[in-house]
Chains A and B, each alone.
Chain A
Amino acid sequence: MPTRVRLLVGTTKGLFTFESDAERRDWNCSGPHLGGWEVYSVLGDHRQGGRIIAGTSHTAYGPSIRVSEDFGQSWRQIAEGPRYPAQSGFALNRVWQIVPGHPSEPDTLFAGVEEAGLFVSRDRGETWNELDALTSHPTRPDWFPGNGGLCLHTILIHPDNPQRMWVGISAVGVFRTDDGGETWRSCNEGLSRVPVGTPHPEVGYCVHKMALDPEVPDTLYMQYHQGVFQSNDAGESWSPIEDGLPGERISAELGAPFGFPIAVSRSGDLFLVPLESSEQRTMRDGRLLVYGMRRGSDRWEPVGDVVPDEPRHVSVLRDALTVDSLDPYGTYFGTTSGEVFYSLDGGVGWDRMPGQYGRILCVKAWIREGHDAA
């Protein structure tokens, strides 16, 4: 069966898809799809026979979820998408994350939204309901938006236990459920609070992105506002993993290094794209350096100088770095200046996709086996 590889790239001005075979040397670009819409989240769902699900939004017209059954050629808007009830007082501005449910729940999808909340669909994305225990958490009045908004941007599901999930909310922190979303508790021990202006000690933790270890289920990794952390106990506690990274840890309050995305390969290799600082939020000295920590190592290395001959004073956003599931794995990221880069050798050597696109919000790899009809 032939393998088709698609890279789904969401931008502030629509979605682009890049398609290749398992070699991933030659890519065909298609798009813009959903032109004019922000695409903060996208999922290629192989469980649904080749469905792309995109979280679209617009400053004037608000958010919605759109699906394509033909690899982006045509789209249908979901009529009963995520929406807060009027009495909640919450506004739904964007859909930051769409993930598939546990493999034992093939019709389930989860969506993380701004203002922060978690929605679930049990019918392949046609209707959505809020898991409102999260926004009913006693700390909710003290949730305070970060620079990117009050966004729930990360949803992780335990591979062996569909009842256990983690979510990450910017400037608020990590929450975990062990009962499928009926109850939630904060999991921020070991992280230092950021100055959010609200006093509740349980929240005020600026998680930028989290990833789940592919082999050790209760091990998580996090790019935090003030450093990079690991938890070996399902988020009960977090410890810094920063050896080799640029940017000294100055203090608990003024920590470094700074960045947004973190991604992990199926073999356990970790990747980051560190930035200069919270104030500057661009590549240090204009060098587009990707850092990696190989499985078994406890030290980060600058594995790839992506564009060694030219400066790139850009950023890579929290959902714009990903790793595919092939062997050898491909690593991909998109920049805020609209370039897409990929590596097929563990992040050492990099190629650039032809073209320049809008500000890149998310990059997701989608592997499909078999012949595609469209």
Chain B
Amino acid sequence: MRLEVSIPPLLRDCALGQTRFSITAGTLDEGLQRLFETYPLLRVHLYDEAERLRKHVLIFFNGESIAWLDRLDIPVRTGDRLTILQAVSGG
């Protein structure tokens, strides 16, 4: 299934100049793996040295942060969205 991905414009040079694109995956977990295999520079900016999601980064699967999910092996359905956001951290 196709997972629709959106990334912040500041990170477009990690994804060949794109901010919206799709990847094919059976599950959310597989989608994340494919995303970082395809665009490894994204991982550098989203995860720190200890492989923790950076403090001010959020990854949403449809309407939910993946940090709130109990498991990531959720089947992907057509039209599902993976959105990477900068957390609003003041300002």
Q: Is A104 an interface residue (CB 8 A)?
A: no
Select B10's contact among A36, A81, A86, A88, beta carbons within 8 Å. Answer: A36
Select A59's contact among B46, B50, B89, beta carbons within 8 Å. Answer: B89
Q: Is A343 an interface residue (CB 8 A)?
A: no
Q: Find out whether the CB atom of A86 lies under 8 angstroms from the CB atom of B49.
A: yes
Q: Is B72 an interface residue (CB 8 A)?
A: no
Select A60's contact among B14, B44, B89, beta carbons within 8 Å. Answer: B89
Among residues 73 to 119 in chain A, which have CB atoms less than 8 Å away from a CB atom of chain B? Answer: 75-77, 79, 81, 83-86, 88, 90-92
Q: Which residues of chain B are near A84, meaning CB under 8 Å?
A: 49
Q: Find out whether the CB atom of B41 lies under 8 angstroms from the CB atom of A86.
A: no
Q: Is A185 an interface residue (CB 8 A)?
A: no
- Known contacts A60-B86, A61-B10; is A85 also within 8 Å of B49 by CB? yes
Q: Find out whether the CB atom of A62 lies under 8 angstroms from the CB atom of B45.
A: yes
Q: Is B81 an interface residue (CB 8 A)?
A: no
Q: Find out whether the CB atom of A64 lies under 8 angstroms from the CB atom of B49.
A: no
Select A83's contact among B13, B40, B44, B89, beta carbons within 8 Å. Answer: B44
At the interface with chain A, which of B18-26, B51-59, B62-70?
B51-59
A-side interface mostly: loop
Select B14's contact among A59, A77, A83, A88, beta carbons within 8 Å. Answer: A77
Q: Find out whether the CB atom of A79 lies under 8 angstroms from the CB atom of B45.
A: no
Q: Is A271 an interface residue (CB 8 A)?
A: no
Most buried by A among B45, B46, B51: B45
Classify chain B: how many residues form its interface, as a range.
20 to 34
Q: Is B87 an interface residue (CB 8 A)?
A: yes
Q: Is B37 an interface residue (CB 8 A)?
A: no
Q: Is A229 an interface residue (CB 8 A)?
A: no
Q: Is A58 an interface residue (CB 8 A)?
A: yes
Classify chain A: how many residues form its interface, as a range.
20 to 34
Q: Which residue in chain B gives the minimum CB-CB distance to A75?
A: B13
Per the bound structure, the CA–CA distance linking A88 and B50 in Å amounts to 9
Q: Is A175 an interface residue (CB 8 A)?
A: no
Q: Which residue in chain A gives the minimum CB-CB distance to B50?
A: A86
> Chain B nearest CB: distance from A212 CB in Å?
32
Per the bound structure, the CA–CA distance linking A66 and B13 in Å amounts to 10
Q: Which residue in chain A gives the minimum CB-CB distance to B56?
A: A60
Q: Which residues of chain B are near A291, meaning CB under 8 Å?
A: none
Per the bound structure, the CA–CA distance linking A81 and B14 in Å amounts to 13
Q: Which residues of chain B are near A60, meaning CB under 8 Å?
A: 54-57, 86-87, 89
Per the bound structure, the CA–CA distance linking A88 and B57 in Å amounts to 23
Q: Is A205 an interface residue (CB 8 A)?
A: no
Among residues 33 to 50 in chain B, which have CB atoms less than 8 Å away from a CB atom of chain A? Answer: 40-41, 44-46, 48-50
Among residues 40 to 66 in chain A, which have CB atoms less than 8 Å away from a CB atom of chain B? Answer: 58-62, 64, 66
Extra contacts, 14 of them, besides A60-B86, A81-B44, A88-B49 (Cβ < 8 A), are: A36-B10, A60-B55, A60-B57, A60-B89, A61-B8, A61-B10, A61-B54, A61-B57, A62-B44, A62-B54, A76-B13, A84-B49, A86-B51, A91-B49
Residues of A within 8 A of B (CB): 36-37, 58-62, 64, 66, 75-77, 79, 81, 83-86, 88, 90-92
